[in-house]
Structure 1
Amino acid sequence: MEMHVTMSQRQKPEQGLEAQEEKEDQLREEVPVAKEVGTPEEIPAAAEVSQETCSASAPIQANVLSKANEGSGAQAEGGQSTPNAFIYSKILLKPKLRKKVLELVKFLSFKYTTKEPVTEAEILKNVVKEYKHYYALIFKHACECMEVVFGIEVREVDAFNHSYEFLKILDLTYDGRLSDDEGIPKTGLLVLVLGVIFMEGNRASEKKVWEVLNVVDMYPDQPDFICGNPRKFITEDLVAEKYLEYQVVPDSDPVCYEFLWGPRAHAETTKMKVLQFFSKVAGRSPTSFTALYKDALKDEEERALAMLASIAIPPTPDNSGSGDKPGSFSHPE
């Protein structure tokens, strides 16, 4: 069973284009191009992040859903024809503002690796500086990039002091780093793949997965700053961690492969949580994706029934005397 979603509504394209241009004109008046200033200081970073990746983070969020469901007649109900994030991203293509977004992503990723919270005052002082009038736009796009690329949510914990902490999205226990203090979190890529599998009817061809990853400039045979060897990370590392299953498509000729959720993915997250995340970054309600929402609801009901059954029928005690405990997934510290 295949379930498809298309983010952009294609009805009345001329009207949509006119509306988009009108919004862009209004935003240009509200957010004029910043004047040229001196070169900002270098920000310590956990890793190098490409300007192209982060400046495109907003349209990526919509394009990933669209690409994962390309060619489908099923569309999300209601909503605008063009996400506001896409319009904002066109303004942020201005080199100076785009550079500030990149610097803030580096600063936030550094704070994440050192397990330190961050405040608006720190960001203004160390990164935004003379661009304080553009703080809201810069911060918004940097947070979007942190979610899409690294799978890290920047959440406000103190509204008075505007203090923020970092949380791995979907509460997945694995982030792909070698240790707590080394490397970059790769949760965002894992969530992308899990989302594509769900949207493709709970199994996705290898071709489809790489088509979507191409949207975030990741290619199977090109070294990547996030995960080094993308093909190995997707087809071996995530499979070894039991987040993905990678298998031959039955009766395929020539032989091709497909991905399914692995047992650890089923244990640590749900279809509803994945749908809620993608809906959030796309600026829509989960219920607007009718078929996906019904599938996610069915999954929630099945999980609830399984939990009730496990409570009603306690597991038979092991009287073998071996003392062995049931196996569990290895969660890297």
Structure 2
Amino acid sequence: MPRGHKSKLRAREKRRQHRAEAQSPKSAQAIAGEEGEAPCSSSSLLGDPPSSATGAGPLQAPSSAPATTSVAAGVSCERAAGKAKGCARKSKNPSRASPPPESCGLDILTQKACKLVEYLLCQYQLKEPIKKADMLKIVRKWYRKDFSEIVSKASEHMDLVHGLELKEVKPSGNSYTLVDSSDESLSRVWRFPIRGILMPLLGVIFLNGNRASEEEMWEFLNMMGIYDGMYHFIFGEPRQLITQELVQEQYLVYRRVPDTDSLCYEFLWGPRTHAETSKMKILEFIAKLNEKAITDFPHHYEEALRDEEERSQARAQAEAGAGCHSEASGHLTATSCCYPHSE
């Protein structure tokens, strides 16, 4: 082959490679554009641990136990909740409305459910109606056939994390409302929005050996999209909430780490938490959040079982003590009747 022809072929091949490289980022942008700004990772409702870039290192539990970051599953949907105006935003470029390739490995229905959670929280906070039409816009036409499943995922998340139940206003299903859940005891005790932050915090403390350093707690809160000194759309000023309000209400104990010279602080369960919930209930919350069984957390399951046994024994002793007191009172009454005072 003539040398000049070879040179032309090489030049043509180089131009083809340059065009391919130039088109790659555009294709990636087109895929990302359909989803808009990703509000949370694909693990938000399923409990997959976030990448190392999230700073999950200090939140690792002992090797025999799951990572503490599993508590972040399902709660990281708060990350973009403040962007209320973008809850039902349409794509500006119709050509981008194509489903992302399955090779990306993301659970797209979970992402859609996560966006619905943000929308529901926005509407609930703003006391505005929840419309099916808006929810369909968020889901987009490519996934409307999966609308029922997506709504079910979002509804389960709202019930589990926030204690709010999604209900149709009318049988037509064109509008919805959020009400306090009635099928779970904690819903009646811990209402929105406190429940949405308190239960995950209690889970972090439990998975970290029943105490969590302030550094660990803030790393976890950052994964939820909650930052020290930054006002949160749902929870307000976070430091004041967790170090003052929840401490004053005796849900948390915030104290200096004992037997150290450093000014380090840690969080523990408060007396009101011990009275109103249990390790088993919090473990059930963590397991359900990750779509696992409580026995998938063997170390913490054994601890929760011991806690249940101790609680049962304490109740039995209290009931026995109350019974003895009642019997003694009855005996005294009977004695006084048998031996009346003489006049």
Normalised by the length of structure 2, the TM-score is 0.58
Give the structure 1 partner of residue 63 of structure 2.
Answer: 73
Pair 1:223-2:231 in alignment: yes
* Residues 113, 153 of structure 2: 8 Å contact kept: no
1:59–1:89 Cα contact (<8 Å) kept: no
What does residue 252 of structure 1 align with?
260
Aligned pairs (5 A) from 1:163-242: 166-167=180-181, 170-171=186-187, 173-175=189-191, 185-242=193-250
Equivalents in 1 of 2:191, 2:58: separation in Å? 23
Q: Which residue matches 2:162?
A: 151
Change (3 A) 1:52 1:286: same
Identity %: 33
Poorly superposed stretches of 4+, deviation over 4 Å:
53-56, 59-64, 66-69, 97-101, 111-114, 160-166
- Deviation string 1:232-278 (CA, Å, 9 cap, x unpaired) is 11110100111001111112222111111111111111100100110
Deviations 1:16-75 (A, max 9, x none): xxxxxxxxxxxxxxxxx9x97xx9xxxxxxxxxx962487622666459x7675163214
Asked if the contact 1:172/1:268 (under 8 Å) is kept, the reply is no
Match of 1:92 among 108, 111, 117: 108
2:151 equivalent among 135, 139, 149: 139
Following the alignment from structure 1 to structure 2, what is the Cα–Cα distance between the partners of residues 263 and 146? 27
- Give SS of 1:258's match: strand
Highest CA radius of gyration, 1 or 2? 2
Q: Which residue of 2 is the match for residue 277 of structure 1?
A: 285
2: distance between equivalents of 1:292 and 1:222?
33
Give the gaps of 5 or more residues in structure 2.
1-30, 67-72, 74-101, 327-343
Q: Which has the higher helix share?
A: 2
Choose which of 250, 261, 274 in structure 2 pairs with 1:266: 274
Pair 260,89 (structure 1): closer, same or farther in 2 beyond 3 Å: farther
Q: Which amino acid aligns with 1:258?
A: E
Question: Equivalent residues in 2 for 1:5-154 (5 A)?
Answer: 52-53=39-40, 57-58=44-45, 62-63=49-50, 69-70=59-60, 72-75=62-65, 90-92=106-108, 101-103=114-116, 105-107=118-120, 110=123, 123=132, 125-128=133-136, 130=141, 131-143=143-155, 146=158, 151-152=162-163, 154=165
2:117 and 2:304 mapped to 1: Cα distance? Answer: 35
Partners in 2 of 1:165 and 1:139 — Cα distance?
16
Cα distance between partner residues in 2 of 1:254 and 1:144:
43
User: Displacement, 1:156?
Assistant: 7.9
Change (3 A) 1:314 1:289: same
Q: Distance in 2 between matches of 1:132 and 1:303?
A: 48
Q: CA 1:104–1:312 in 2, change beyond 3 Å: closer, same or farther?
A: closer
